Amino acid sequence: MTNIENQKFTALDISGKNYLSWVLDVKLHLSAKKLKHIIDEDNVASNEERATALIFLRHHIDDGLKYKYLTVENSLELWQNLNDRFEHLKAVVLPNALNDWSQLRFQDFKTVSEYNSTLFQIVS
């Protein structure tokens, strides 16, 4: 558990293909740092907390997104802008995952590990 602070997760891709997992990672990380309230509306956060969250968010997004939101100086505003940009992916990804899940059959795989791999891909 040493250096848990140094462990990174994948930055948000400019296409948003990893948005759903990125959101979960960000929320977990901010919760661990006791900063999750920063991304809630009507939060009462100090300037230091907002700056820390903004640095963290900017550090974990693609360079193209950094340049697009270069003028955003509020962590909540950046969070909402990214949410507005990529939230629609739930409407696309979820039906595809549900379809893949309904068609998943154990007998279609040669090994249990192949089945598990496909299962985890659908879940993620």
Angle at 43 between CA 83 and CA 64, to 5 degrees: 30
Q: Is residue 90 part of a domain?
A: yes
Global confidence as pTM: 0.68
Average pLDDT over residues 7-22: 80
Q: Is residue 53 part of a domain?
A: yes
Q: Is residue 10 part of a domain?
A: no
User: How many domains is the chain built from?
Assistant: 1
How does pLDDT run across 68-78, given as a tens digit for each residue? 998 988 888 99
Q: Is residue 81 part of a domain?
A: yes
What's the pLDDT score for residue 124?
64
How does pLDDT run across 66-108, given as a tens digit for each residue? 999 989 888 889 999 998 888 877 777 777 777 777 777 777 8
Among the listed residues 28, 16, 25, 101, the one whose alpha carbon sits nearest the alpha carbon of residue 64: 16
Structural domain range at position 56 = 18-123
Which pair of tokens denotes residue 57? 């968010």
Which pair of tokens denotes residue 114? 């192949």
Q: Is residue 5 part of a domain?
A: no
Q: Is residue 4 part of a domain?
A: no
